[in-house]
Structure 1
Amino acid sequence: MKFLVIFSLLSAPVWAESCPPTPDSSAELSALIDQIREAKDERAAKPISDQMWEIWLDAPDDAAQDLLNNGLRQRNNFDFVGALETFDRLTEYCPAYAEGYNQRAFTHFMVEDYSKALNDLDIALDLSPDHVGVQSGRALTLMNMGLLDEARTQMQAALDNNPWLSERALMENGALLGPKGEDI
């Protein structure tokens, strides 16, 4: 009996405990958004964008960070099934951590499952409304679903928070999300 109890404790998943609350970094992100809006060029904006990603990719605890890092590594190695399983565990463990949903959405996007990507992006956006990566990812997902008007609106929201996104080219005259009536 003692062996069974010890075995079950040892085999319990890391996420069996509660995930701590995601730290509130809204003030820091707001300041970074203000800074990136004032950046003179893409080169000046890059370190500010990197700081934003450092905040978003900082998981609430070590267990969540390990899941996030493992999922990213799996996806980078084209193990999409493994990455999705890992991001599933991350979102189960830390349901208030937007980046878990964002990274799972990106994995769904990579395998062209746009409806699942959009669902995760909507959750992430509810949790982190000014997350530029979620905003631009949602715009790209909508674009791939053929929902160009909604994609255009979402991309504009992303560009309002970071005018130096590489995706800004999609909003130029003649581009897929460019102004309507000016695509000739």
Structure 2
Amino acid sequence: MKAFRNIHNSLLAAGLALLAGTGSTVAQSDRLDELLERLQLPDLGTWQLVEDEIYQYWSLSGSASADFLLMRGREALEQGDLAAALDHLTALTDHAPDFAEGWNARATAYFRAGRYGVAISDVQRVLALNPRHFGALTGLGLMLEEMGEFDAALEAYETAQSIHPHRPDISQAVDRLNRMLEGETL
């Protein structure tokens, strides 16, 4: 129960930071804020390009060695080598503990390894550093849904959707969980 209170508190902090407009580093804040604002446009046919650019910004740590570790960790993930991915990404989070995308990549590796507890802990770190990380929020929703924590999953998905309303997978998850929680048969 304490873990789910922590998740709720992380989601609440993410929401409050969204309202306050915080969460970006100085180096990327103006352009990143502009891109995140563009995601709010209702008829954004190029949302995937905007999303890609946001991820490019989030993937810049400011350190060549940290960027290299992120690249190696992602390559290992793509190859299905979870042990190597976790080695690289743990080295990254040790080397650059304030780099949210390092925690997000490691959360993905832990998720793929079926280790939801540590994956959720890493997502909480991501959201503390970058409360607008819709990818981390979506991943959190997915894990919570698979764990049967449907209310918390819906909260995570809805927070992600408030940041990125164009992703069909997020909209589908919100609709699915709303129907489930209202008692409709899926």
Q: TM-score band, normalised by the shorter chain? A: 0.7 to 0.9
- Aligned alpha-carbon RMSD (Å): 1.6
* Matched residue type, 2:37: D
Partner of 2:128: 126
How far off is 1:24 after superposition? 4.3
Counterparts in 2 of 1:94-133, with a 5 A limit?
94-133=96-135
* Runs of at least 5 residues in structure 2 that lack an aligned partner in the other structure: 1-24
Alignment equivalent of 2:34, drawn from 31, 34, 37: 31
- Tell me if 1:181 matches 2:185: no
Alpha-carbon separation, structure 2, partners of 1:103 and 1:69: 10
How far off is 1:39 after superposition? 4.3
Q: How many residues align?
A: 159
Check 1:27–1:139 CA distance in 2 against 1; reply closer, same or farther (3 A cut): farther
Q: Quick check: which has more Rg, 1 or 2?
A: 1
Alignment equivalent of 1:141, drawn from 140, 143, 164: 143
Check 1:26–1:142 CA distance in 2 against 1; reply closer, same or farther (3 A cut): farther
Alignment equivalent of 1:169, drawn from 166, 172, 175: 172
* Matched residue type, 1:100: G
Identify, as 1 or 2, the structure richer in helix: 2
How far off is 1:30 after superposition? 2.4
Q: Does structure 2 conserve the Cα–Cα contact (< 8 Å) formed by 1:87 and 1:100?
A: yes
* Runs of at least 5 residues in structure 1 that lack an aligned partner in the other structure: 1-21
Matched position secondary structure for 2:166: coil
How far off is 1:118 after superposition? 0.1
Alpha-carbon separation, structure 2, partners of 1:23 and 1:99: 16
Q: TM-score, normalised by structure 2?
A: 0.80
Q: Does structure 1 conserve the Cα–Cα contact (< 8 Å) formed by 2:73 and 2:88?
A: yes
How far off is 1:101 after superposition? 0.5
Percent of aligned pairs with the same residue? 26
Q: Does structure 2 conserve the Cα–Cα contact (< 8 Å) formed by 1:59 and 1:68?
A: no
Q: Does structure 2 conserve the Cα–Cα contact (< 8 Å) formed by 1:80 and 1:107?
A: yes
How far off is 1:141 after superposition? 1.6
